[in-house]
Amino acid sequence: MPEQHANPPYDALLLLSFGGPEGPDDVVPFLRNVTRGRGIPEERLKEVGQHYFLFGGVSPINDQNRALLDALRKDFAEHGVDLPVYWGNRNWAPYLTDTLREMAADGRRRIVTLATSAYASYSGCRQYREDLAGALATLAAEGIEPPRVDKLRHYFNHPGFVRPMARSVLASLADLPEDVRAGAHLAFTTHSIPDAAADTSGPAEAHGEGGAYVAQHLDVARLIVDIVREETGVEHPWRLVYQSRSGAPHIPWLEPDICDHLEELHGAGVPAVVMAPIGFVSDHMEVLYDLDTEATAKAAELGLPVRRSATVGADPRFAAAVRDLVLERAATERGEPAERCALGALGPSHDLCPVGCCPARAPKPAAAGADSPYA
């Protein structure tokens, strides 16, 4: 029998994501949406668009979100969670404002939101909250009573997010030639952001070198290394590295870049590398281009065996984690005790972002976490 849960105070879940083009004619208009207000020349947009055209002008992110929607609906139905699931994007159809308008027309009054970005940063968290606020203000201006919307806490260290990634790293290690497997280096990758944005990520008490953004990724990397060691008996060397930098070259961004790191490892005689994109929820364009295309080509040039592990995507364990987060938040809203699952040293994140959390700094980062012209 399915588990029965009292779902109030929420009557819908909103999957909130970045969006991406679904055909060649969408690419430049999509990039205009992403970079609106930043003064990016049209020529630069067309240059970036070439990355999409390598894949037929289609970002995989929308299909991956559809798969996640299916996984969430299946999990909810199997566990008696009677909560309809909607989907809205920041930069492409289905647009967030349109989805909230639809939800309001359907009578949804209390909405809980999952953003497809697991970590603290301006673009990965606060900007999504600003998107929600702007969309709700648009509804109010149209004479539509806006629903209340709550965003789920960061889930970077939830077991349902960490363990699928660890299994993927183990699978990538097993796929390496046996003679280089034990000496393989683990390169945990995430989106580079400006140093200033990283330093001010998370609540004020986390501000400092790297801020919550770096600390959270390091915690996840250590957790995966520990799981790999427990499974294999091997302590693999590892490092947190970065990818997908964009923006003015004179502004410091988090380093080292994955391609530079591969060169460094090759020079040090490392026999093989597993690239683990822990900063990404799904295998969208940044993973396909920056890792599977650019970084893999760099490794081939160096003669360095490399594998890229999978992201969580629509893994059933991740869908179960979302259900857990929804029920946890619903219990908290009802004033009931709730188990807050989290692995590692940092513990569960806050439900409500404090004032000053992940402030926007000039210049705003062009991308962070799931947020990029390459999503």
Annotated binding-site residue numbers for Fe-coproporphyrin III: 59, 128
CB-based contact 123:191 (threshold 8 Å): no
Distance CA 155, CA 216 (A): 10
CB-based contact 359:273 (threshold 8 Å): no
Q: At residue 188, what are phi and psi to the nearest 5 degrees?
A: -85, 120
Task: Name the residue type at position 375.
Answer: A
* Binding region: 59, 128, 191, 286
> Both tokens of residue 299?
């490794």
CB-based contact 243:253 (threshold 8 Å): no
Distance CA 339, CA 331 (A): 9
CB atoms within 10 A of CB 347: 10
Characterize 193-208 residue by residue with b for buried, 16 or more Cβ atoms within 10 angstroms of its Cβ, and e for exposed: bbbbbbbbbbbeebbe
Distance CA 168, CA 224 (A): 10
Torsion, Cα 71 77 79 82, to 10 degrees, reads: 120
Distance CA 161, CA 99 (A): 26
For every residue of 294-340, DSSP letters joined together read IIHHHHHHHT--EEE----TT-HHHHHHHHHHHHHHHHHHTT-----
* Binding region for Fe(2+): 191, 286
Q: How far is residue 348 from each of residues 148, 153, 167, measured CA to CA in Å?
A: 23, 8, 22
